[in-house]
A and B are shown apart, each in its own frame.
Chain A
Amino acid sequence: MTMKRRTLLALTLATGLTAPGIALAQADTIKIGLLATFEGAFTVLGEDSERGAMTAVDEFGGMVAGKKIEIVKGSSDASPDSAVRAARKLVEQDGVKILVGPLSGDEGIAVKDYAKTHPDVTFLNGSSAAQDTTLRDPADNFFRFSTDGAQWMAGLGTYAYNDRGYKKVATVAEDYSFPYTQVFGFMAEFCKAGGTVPSKSWVPIGNKDYSSVIAAIPDDVDAIYVALGGADAVNFLSQYNDAGGQAPLIGGSITVDQTVLTAKGRMRDVLIGTPAAGPTADTNDSQAWKDFTAAYKKQDGAFPSPSLFAHAYYINMKAALLALDKVGGDLSDDGAKLRQELSTISFETPTGKVSLDSNRNAIADMYLTEVSEAADGTLVNKLIKVTPQVNQTLGIPTDEFLALGAVSRENPSCP
């Protein structure tokens, strides 16, 4: 008996250690890796991104070019290390040839670097929106059909200065590359219009206590630009509300996203009327957007309106499926044809036409929005204005744009 048990134990251990990549890759299925944050501070965002990706898969009926689509999921916690580890598992163990993800800014930069070591695998971005994922030192097999954080800000800086009359704005943002990119996008327009930004606060991801940040904001600013995401945004907004914050807010793209607007907490008063910009607008009344919302809502646990993450994963997944369809699901050449197809593809999305530039970064329409209360009492982003076909250099010639330098805490600056 004991011998048997011991043999069993040894067997379990041995098979666990040696199972030589049980790759059941059947000829009639196509494996696609889906990498998102299913743990950590951005879990809610990650779950919604999955809904977006699955909306695209469902749109194709789970089949592409006569082959079944098999989604293999990988989870990260928004740290670049965990994203690379999850990507490695999907590529090297599960043998996916197409990977959609990751979700967060620095994850994108890390996965882009990893992509270079696997030129036979096709990487499509999830919703990560750091500028340097595609702008500087890009990878040939990394495609971003969602846009970057600076593009998302198109129209906001000018609107804040001209229409709202804000001359002096303080910023509060998380301390990593995506918020840097967002602040860059906002300030590029705002400072050009004549505004000044005397104070920038950078807070770590997952910060819980914002009292010192709120206290450090100068009293004489006209508004506060907030670029925080997920739980961080909820914490800041409710604490700002509790502190009796008076200055109006300007929102980063994910600060007033559905993932935050649907959260419980006393944030209503400070949120209503907050202008923001991003790749989506909840009250977009184009038929394509309405159809997309209806399809998205069929997913389990869906928000009243798809979040920016659902949207980004949807677009990237859809691009992958469209291109796969075009090449007849043929990946026998290590995906060379697929990547050729991806770099030239251009298609209509729920938010207008998308095409890629030479760095494989998307050119797409951007939406200027304002938080308002819908008829049913929920908070939504009301569409104010569409900025058509924004490219990664925000309309500035590429070399001039590159000369502005990489985004960071200090860059740009206009105190």
Chain B
Amino acid sequence: MSDLPLSPAQKPAGARSWIETLGLAHILLGLFLLIYPAMASDFFLTQIGGYSLVLGMISLSLMLLAGYGGMVSLAQITVAGAAGYVVAIFGVNNSGVHGFGWPWWVFVPLAIAIASLVSALIGWIAVRTEGIYTIMITLAVATACFYFTQQNYALFNGFPGYNGLRAPEVFGVYWRDPVPFYYLCLAMATLAYAAVLYGARSTFGLTLQAIRDNPRRMRAIGFNVTAHKVFAWWLAGLIAGAAGVLLVWFNGRISPGTIAVGPAINILVIAIIGGLRHPIGPFLGAVVVTLMQTFAIDIIGAERFNTLIGLVFLLIVFISPDGILGLWERFRPQAGREDWRTFRTATKQVGNKGRKT
């Protein structure tokens, strides 16, 4: 993370080795994540590692919308939940409702496709609004979906939801076993992370950021602003949908509690805690939030542990409005000062642009 590759075109392309292309921090982080299973217990592997990666992916879809598109969505967990319910309905469950038992290679793509369409639909409704109104309308959508799934038994099986959802066994590997599940999550998260990193510098990504900064000007020079925004929602839906599939395999179940207002806000908290400026932020945030929510009860006891969680989050945002990404910046080594300055100017520009919206 010491060379956040925000400005890749600073050196002549021919002179760049693959290490520079990838970034030393990425390589170190990648190595650490690859050998993590050798160090961690099963609990840390799935309940902390896998779960953080899944939550990080859902938050990443929010970071994509908020960071590059200026659209803060509270409905990302709803999109993930849509994928989860598709898995429950078309796959196998033991709740005795639906559970068509289709093979995984049919229902997984179907789940992600439906989730992305749901996301695009929510986006299509939400892009007519801006700023706080986007937050409100997506919150309204998330709440409505929560109550609908809780009350509807024909399709969503109401309050208990679906139980007994198993990850498939492919190539003789049961993908919910700790190590395979961790690597599956890691692979998906890396894919999503790399896609967002690449996408941000693509024509579409730059156009989206330009729309974030000045939609009127972009409209005036002939860009279809609504179409670009809805397309961004669709892309975010792909990431959230994939994470939703992993989430139900992780939990082994899905119920309205999975997509309630609390979890929806949790996703926003993760993104804010981590930092919205770089796609690594949501993953950092997810690790901190997961650790806090798992272990706060051991630190302070059952009565006040939510207060402690809240205070820690408050402290992080108070010290560094940019979340953990901002904290990292403060503790950077002197050695990299030169790079660091250019990075800071680069990010300052991004930040300033962001503030205009």
Contact = CB atoms under 8 A, between A and B. Distances in A.
Interface stretch (A76-84, A263-271, A272-280, A285-293): A76-84
A2 interface: yes
Interface string B47-70: 111000000000000000000000
Nearest to B147: A204
Nearest to A91: B43
B40 A84 contact: no
Contact of B41 (A21, A39, A75, A81): A21
Given A2-B334, A17-B49, A38 B303 contact: yes
Interface string A60-89: 000000000000111101011110110011
Nearest to A136: B96
B57 to A, nearest CB: 18
Given A3-B333, A81-B258, A409-B153, A47 B303 contact: yes
A84 B257 CA distance: 12
A174 to B, nearest CB: 8
A9 B332 CA distance: 11
B339 interface: no
Interface stretch (A105-113, A325-333, A370-378, A392-400): A105-113
Contact of B47 (A16, A46, A74, A92): A92
Given A2-B334, A176-B159, A177-B160, A88 B39 contact: no
Given A92-B42, A113-B163, A175-B151, A79 B260 contact: yes
B68 to A, nearest CB: 27
Interface string B319-344: 00000000110011110000000000
Interface in A86-127: 88-89, 92-93, 106, 109-110, 113-114
Contacts of B158: 175-176
Nearest to A3: B333
A82 B298 CA distance: 16
A140 B251 CA distance: 22
Nearest to A176: B159
Using C-beta atoms within 8 Å of the partner chain, give the interface range for chain B.
35 or more
Given A73-B302, A89-B294, A6 B43 contact: no
In this complex, the member of B41, B47, B151 whose beta carbon has the largest number of chain A beta carbons within 10 angstroms is B41
A80 B333 contact: no
B150 interface: yes
Contact of B257 (A20, A36, A80, A409): A80
Interface in B145-172: 147, 150-151, 153, 158-161, 163-164
A106 B43 contact: no
A238 to B, nearest CB: 23
B147 A75 contact: no
A232 interface: no
Contacts of B163: 80, 109-110, 113
A6 B301 CA distance: 30
Contacts of B298: 72
Contact of A20 (B39, B253, B262, B333): B39
A110 B331 contact: no
B80 to A, nearest CB: 13
Interface residues of A, number: 46
B331 A6 contact: yes
Nearest to A88: B47
A16 B294 CA distance: 12
B260 A89 contact: no
Contacts of A73: 297, 301-302
B157 to A, nearest CB: 10
Contacts of A109: 160, 163
Contacts of B262: 77
A175 B44 contact: no
A231 B305 CA distance: 21
Interface in B105-127: none
A2 B333 contact: yes
Interface string A1-22: 0110110010001001111110
Contacts of A204: 147, 150-151, 159
Contacts of B150: 175, 204
Contacts of B48: 17
Interface string A29-48: 00000001011000000110
A80 B42 contact: no
A19 to B, nearest CB: 7
B43 A21 contact: yes
B39 A39 contact: no
Contacts of A221: none
Contacts of B243: none
Nearest to B42: A92
Contacts of A92: 41-43, 47
A73 B48 CA distance: 19
B127 to A, nearest CB: 30
A17 B49 CA distance: 8
A9 B260 CA distance: 34
Contacts of A46: 302
A47 to B, nearest CB: 7
A138 to B, nearest CB: 13
A50 interface: yes
A74 B150 CA distance: 25
Nearest to A34: B302
B36 interface: yes
B252 interface: yes
A295 interface: no
B225 to A, nearest CB: 38
Given A2-B332, A73-B301, A80-B163, 18 more contacts: A3-B334, A20-B44, A21-B41, A36-B302, A38-B297, A46-B302, A73-B302, A79-B256, A80-B160, A80-B161, A80-B255, A81-B258, A82-B257, A85-B251, A89-B43, A92-B42, A113-B164, A137-B94
**The 5 A-B residue pairs with the shortest CB-CB distance in the complex, in nearest-first order:** A79-B257, A176-B159, A92-B43, A21-B41, A38-B302
30 contacts: A5-B331, A6-B331, A16-B291, A17-B40, A18-B36, A18-B44, A19-B44, A21-B41, A38-B303, A39-B306, A73-B297, A77-B257, A80-B257, A81-B257, A84-B251, A88-B43, A89-B43, A89-B47, A93-B43, A93-B294, A106-B255, A109-B160, A109-B163, A113-B252, A114-B252, A175-B158, A204-B147, A204-B150, A204-B159, A409-B153
